[in-house]
Structure 1
Amino acid sequence: MYGPAELLRDFVNTHEIEGDNDELASPAELAVWLREHGLISDADRAVDDDWALAVNLRQGLRSALRHHLSRGPVPRSSAPELEAALAALPMRVTLADGTPRPEPLATGATRGLGLLAAAVLEAHAAGDWPRLKVCAEDTCQWAFIDSSKNRSRSWCSMRTCGNRTKTRAYRARRRHDP
């Protein structure tokens, strides 16, 4: 099943930090991504303002997910891009099917970004928001959903990033041993 947490993870992962690869390098690429994820129609296009808003939303989400590693609340001051992006995406609450849901007020690509913002609320309501994290490896920061029982996962992959971090720590200890 593909839910709001997976959607947010995939959106954050459109920018790969380690290789500096960006799937959303232009408004046209943003529109393609939003279309492929069912957030806009085939007729909708993105403009420069939509693209800038998407980049801020993505960076803000990455900053917020960094705080989930420590299991602490996300301080407002830590993700100013997220606060600015969310403020630019007005919503209303609807009672479709008797369930309160956030509904973006914008149209086109901005509406698609509003649906991403609504996914934050939906992931929180489902209990998945705190499980969304970014890899603790500074050079990676790949978003993942922590499915561990005690929510203690720190790396996107123990095989790569976890191993890298532990190997660096081991080597540093060995350098300082007499």
Structure 2
Amino acid sequence: MTFAWTPHRFSGGSLALDVANSVVLRDDPARRIDRFADPALIGAFAGGANRHGAERDRFGRLEPVAADARENFLALREAIDRHFRAQARGDGSPALLADLLERVAETLRRSGDRPQALDTATARSALSLVALSEPDRLKICPNCRWLFLDRSRNRSRAWCDMAVCGNRVKASRHYRRRRKEIRP
């Protein structure tokens, strides 16, 4: 099966959240898929973010992560996920924030003359999320468990992507309702 970085894969609303969402079914060890387990997919992610990412205008054309920076990039991804997932649940902690900031600092120190590298842009994106003036806009999709920013005017967005997760939930609800009507 081939994999492509489609627009749905960039529904988090920020580069940092899209990077964190590169682990599918994170809470289910038996079905968990790490899209960055294949280093080629990390490189392809930069191209996908250039085409579909919400912050593509902010960072310009992203370059892949350097081979010697991949381990740090993956550690940054995990720190982003831990901190913002806890924040979205309402149980963030200073320790998680400190860990994230340490990873961001390490990434920025290592970036050198590569300001357009995916890892550098991801670190900068995470910093802007830390400074988010409305942290209640950060949510977890009830269907796929991905992190996303709710940019709707009344903060009512329920899913990371209505076309995918929203439709799945609504179709499932409809199916259960129809089965109940058929079976007395």
Q: TM-score range by the shorter chain?
A: 0.5 to 0.7
Contact 2:22 2:34 in 1 (8 A): yes
Task: Find the aligned partners of 2:88 and 2:131 in 1 and give their Cα distance.
Answer: 19
2:62–2:118 Cα contact (<8 Å) kept: yes
SS at match of 1:58: helix
Q: What CA distance in whole angstroms lies between the structure 1 residues aligned with 2:97 and 2:130?
A: 17
Matches within 5 A, 1:128-167: 130-135=136-141, 140-147=144-151, 151=155, 156=160
Question: How many residues are treated as equivalent by the alignment?
Answer: 143
Say which of 8, 14, 26 aligns to 2:38: 26
Gapped runs of 5+ residues in structure 1? Answer: 92-103, 165-178
Q: Deviations over 1:95-136 (max 9, x none)?
A: xxxxxxxxx952459942111111133446674665233346
Residue 133 of structure 1 aligns to a residue whose secondary structure is strand
Indicate the SS of the match to 1:90. helix
CA distance, structure 2, for counterparts of residue 126 and residue 79 of structure 1? 13
Specify which structure has the higher proportion of strand: 1
Q: Give the aligned residue type for 1:31.
A: G
Q: CA RMSD in A?
A: 3.9
Aligned-partner Cα distance in 1 for 2:111–2:77: 20
| TM-score scaled by length of structure 2 | 0.55
Contact 2:24 2:34 (C-alpha < 8 Å) held by counterparts: yes
**Which runs of 5 or more structure 2 residues have no equivalent in the other structure?**
1-9, 50-60, 173-184
Q: Which runs of 4+ in 1 moved over 6 A?
A: 152-155, 158-162
Secondary structure of the 1:88 match is helix
Give the direction of change, closer, same or farther, for the CA distance of 1:24–1:3 in structure 2 (3 Å limit): closer
Equivalent in 40, 46, 50 of residue 69 of structure 2:
50
What is the identity, as a one-letter code, of the residue corresponding to 1:106? G
Q: Distance in 1 between matches of 2:35 and 2:145?
A: 16
